[in-house]
Structure 1
């Protein structure tokens, strides 16, 4: 493991993302200087894993509307005391409300690489999901608001060291605190968030999420995102 690691949080960037150039790599010197460095580092890790390694989504389409309302954590590794910190892992937390549960066997494919990026002002001003009564599953009654962890990834060279556990546990510890819960209440003000957390897990990452307390929701079934099989998992936090 790296000699030193630490995690940094980027609270929801909101309208700041309207100046982000979706067609450029996150760490391009041509990116807007108004984009926080922690957020760019998060996107860089996602590019490294989802765009370049897994080839699940083209560069210009890997950022979505939810990124503007999400909290993002970045794990930095410092190979030596004299080396600069390297962004090596990331995860995001999306407040309620959420998009509907995927249908069994559904396939969500990213736009083709030859389709241009959306106008960021249009993308990040698009409507948020409305609160709905969703389908009932084994672990969700279809009505209770829940937060969602996602975009969990660790750069290949740093895997096998349980760094993903740190990326999962830090947001869970953070959101249990009363002052932080108010930040993730989302737009469903009339319905209190009571500690329910969901993930859409790649099948290859199920053991990692399970190790951190998440349980597969058999009632959600399975589906594909970017050609990769996914399942739904839930965890109930004991709130402070």
Structure 2
């Protein structure tokens, strides 16, 4: 594996992405960013082919409003094997190779607001709770995050308008969440099989965490975006503000990975299943510094 590098894709328009088709069969008119297709390539390899999640459940409405990180590695491929003359043994065709950058891992960060915390014992299929409580909040396949049930955003402003349209309300209090504080979720953490054991996921989280710490107000909506100006509110006290709280809906089998990153299991969230895979809730808080106001 050559020197890896990581690309970031900020919230982007994905309205034309066909969730019934794999990443390499999307319509040409869809204009899907390459980084997102690369993220889906990894997710399809891990969640769809390895874990058996239906393809149509892999892409969800949170993808458009999320930030995605994709790690690439330079891989040397043989395009022509060396050939020899059978009579003399001399080389008649030299071995030919080429080096490609291929996606090997991905992660996304989903901004607030979020659906309610999954209930203990809940069963989710395609982000929908199946046991009659009528709420959604699970992530259908990965080790974290959830579905917000909204349309795709065209721009960052469009993303914030979409974000503001999501219903914000008080959630159940858990071990590490008071039910009110805004939090972001990491999720769709996946590394292709041949590259596991190289700390790929840890490097992705390090990149995402650094970005979050350096951009703490990125997801915070404004008075206008929340529509508060229409009701005569011009202050900032009523505006949700992210203060570093990060959630993860982790597959039970990889809890220890997240614990090494600093996440702690939220015992009050209990356990639930997403696409038949047991999950638990985890939280941590990253160090975000209050941004200084610009004085003109």
TM-score of the two chains, using structure 1 as the length reference: 0.86
Give me the whole-angstrom Cα distance separating, in 2, the residues matched to 1:123 and 1:190: 20
What do residues 159-213 of structure 1 show as CA deviations (whole Å, max 9, x unaligned)?
A: 1221110111111110111xx2232225777121110000000011111111111
In structure 1, the gaps of 5 or more residues are 112-121
Give me the whole-angstrom Cα distance separating, in 2, the residues matched to 1:94 and 1:181: 14
Taking CA–CA contacts closer than 8 Å with sequence separation of 6 or more, which of the two structures ends up with the larger relative contact order? 1
With 214-223 and 71-80 compared, the bigger mean Cα shift is at 71-80
Structure index of larger Rg: 2
Runs of 4+ displaced beyond 4 Å: 125-128, 186-189
**Are residues 1:42 and 2:58 paired?**
no
Deviation of 1:88 after TM superposition, in Å, equals 0.9
1:191 paired residue among 240, 264, 279: 240
Equivalent residue for 2:143? Answer: none
What SS does the corresponding residue of 1:232 show, helix, strand or coil? strand
Equivalent residue for 2:192? Answer: 155
Equivalent residue for 1:51? Answer: 48
**Are residues 1:68 and 2:64 paired?**
yes
How many pairs are equivalent?
Answer: 224
Give me the whole-angstrom Cα distance separating, in 2, the residues matched to 1:211 and 1:48: 25
Equivalent residue for 1:89? Answer: 105
Are residues 29 and 191 of structure 1, via their aligned partners in 2, closer, same or farther at CA, if it must alter by over 3 Å? closer
**Are residues 1:228 and 2:277 paired?**
yes
In structure 2, the gaps of 5 or more residues are 78-97, 128-148, 153-161, 227-237, 290-296
Are residues 29 and 237 of structure 1, via their aligned partners in 2, closer, same or farther at CA, if it must alter by over 3 Å? closer
RMSD, matched Cα: 2.2
With 144-153 and 32-41 compared, the bigger mean Cα shift is at 32-41
TM-score of the two chains, using structure 2 as the length reference: 0.71
What do residues 31-77 of structure 1 show as CA deviations (whole Å, max 9, x unaligned)?
A: 44511100111111111111111012x11221111111000110111
Equivalent residue for 1:237? Answer: 286
Give me the whole-angstrom Cα distance separating, in 2, the residues matched to 1:202 and 1:31: 34
